[in-house]
Structure 1
Amino acid sequence: MHSTASIYGFLAVAGMLAVTPGPNMVYVMSRSIAQGRMAGMISLAGVMFGYLFYMFGAAFGITAFFLGVPYAGSALGAVGALYLFYLAWQAVKPGGRSPLEVRDLPRERPRRLLVMGATTSLLNPKLAMIFLSLLPQFIDYQNGSVLRQSLALGSSLIVVFATVNGLVAVCSGSMATLLSRRPGLLLAQRWAMGLVLGVLGMHMAVDALRSAGIY
């Protein structure tokens, strides 16, 4: 069973990662702007396939990994921390461009939107890192079924990501208009997200060192 603090911590991390622009969000937003809200929602349905693929793959892989490899949690925590630091740097690096600055795309049929959404999601390294490196940090593999915990946390993560991207699909037109008129908001978004991700990465790195007996 998860403690209340652990669940809240996981949801906080999931929420921050969900609102961090990535390939899936940019794809859904771009399609919504180019073809309307319905196209954005169809694209999101395709993206959901990638979510489910990584969730089940990670759940079964995490179960075997935790039970068979000493210090598995520390190793995955270190990788997860490095990934958060990478996302933070991408957000604030000089000359960086906010992923929210999307461009219009040519119109596509619904089936094509689904396939492209699934492909974008499956080839998204952000999803792989989240499910394989970050999610395990909130699993208590000595207390209850690791598989059950993995599926429960993975399902919660999918709900958070789908909700955020659904809102993006619905509101992308208005968001694009607002951001095009106020470029300062894009810069503020990049720095705020970079700061939060950096703090989360530092916290995860310290936890990984402690669990390994180094700190």
Structure 2
Amino acid sequence: MIVSVGALGGFALVALGMVCTPGPNMIYLLSRSITQGRLAGVISLGGVVVGFLCYMLCAAFGLTALLLAVPMAYEVIQWAGAAYLLYMAWNSVKPGARSVLEPRHDLAIDGPRKLFAMGLFTNLLNPKVAVIYLSLLPQFIEPANGNILAQSIILGLTQILISFTVNLLIVLAAGSVSVWFTGRPRWQKVQRWVMASVLASLAIRLAMERRAV
């Protein structure tokens, strides 16, 4: 098997933790869905998915060359990824932090083309996505299995599927979820701490993992 069950399951857990944390994609999709409706949210999500595909292909070919040429790059991106996860965890609970379920309501009404483009560029300019593909994904590539490019693509498609599923559920449930949390500030705090705990756990796991070479 090109990608082991352990590596695939571990990366799927990381991808799920990342997509469930506050970030530009979730905030934009949630706000757009509440402001303009579910269809607008789905069109915006289409742009987000294309952005993921761009990152996946660029990272797959670039990482293949880098990791074959510089074995020590594994350790460098491992610590960089762990540091960024801890940074995101702190941003979730620092004083003044807002819940991702507190969307913007001042967005203008846009047409399908602009909705798609905004989803695309929001994702391309999202540093969290860059970290997923440049710092986290390589930790689950197993050189001993060969074909690093194929492993990168399989893991990338796994992340895209998970992200699409979670974000689609967010788009479809945006209105009711936002209303529920808006009237319950205590639950907004719980949501932030849960996400911070998940991120911190992933960071510790990533930092302590040692790769066999």
Please give the TM-score of this superposition, normalised by the length of structure 2.
0.95
Partner of 2:35: 34
Deviation by residue 1:107-142 (Cα, 9 ceiling, x = unmatched): 111111111111111111111111111011000023
Partner of 2:46: 45
CA distance in 2, matches of 1:88, 1:3: 28
Q: For structure 1, which segment, 149-158 or 100-109, has the greater mean C-alpha deviation from structure 2 after superposition? A: 100-109
Long gaps (5+) in structure 1: none
Matches for 1:148-187 after TM superposition, within 5 Å: 148-187=150-189
The answer on whether the counterparts of 1:74 and 1:212 sit within 8 Å (CA) in structure 2 is no
The answer on whether the counterparts of 2:22 and 2:92 sit within 8 Å (CA) in structure 1 is no
Partner of 1:124: 126
Percent of pairs identical after alignment? 49
Matches for 1:47-86 after TM superposition, within 5 Å: 47-86=48-87
The answer on whether the counterparts of 1:44 and 1:117 sit within 8 Å (CA) in structure 2 is yes
Residue identity matched to 2:143: Y
CA distance in 2, matches of 1:25, 1:203: 25
Partner of 1:147: 149
Matches for 1:78-117 after TM superposition, within 5 Å: 78-104=79-105, 105-117=107-119
CA distance in 1, matches of 2:43, 2:71: 43
The answer on whether the counterparts of 1:66 and 1:141 sit within 8 Å (CA) in structure 2 is no
CA drift of 1:2 comes to 2.5
Partner of 2:22: 21
Is the partner of 2:103 in helix, strand or coil? coil
CA distance in 2, matches of 1:47, 1:197: 22
Runs of at least 4 residues off by over 3 Å: 210-213
The answer on whether the counterparts of 1:71 and 1:212 sit within 8 Å (CA) in structure 2 is no
CA drift of 1:11 comes to 1.1
Long gaps (5+) in structure 2: none
CA distance in 2, matches of 1:96, 1:89: 9
Is the partner of 2:144 in helix, strand or coil? coil
The answer on whether the counterparts of 2:45 and 2:164 sit within 8 Å (CA) in structure 1 is yes
Deviation by residue 1:153-201 (Cα, 9 ceiling, x = unmatched): 0001000001111111100000111011111111001011111111110
Name the Cα RMSD after superposition.
1.4
CA drift of 1:84 comes to 0.5
CA distance in 2, matches of 1:109, 1:92: 35
Is the partner of 1:20 in helix, strand or coil? coil
CA drift of 1:66 comes to 0.7
Q: How many residues align?
A: 211
Residue identity matched to 2:39: M
CA distance in 2, matches of 1:103, 1:80: 29
Is the partner of 1:142 in helix, strand or coil? helix
CA distance in 2, matches of 1:13, 1:173: 27
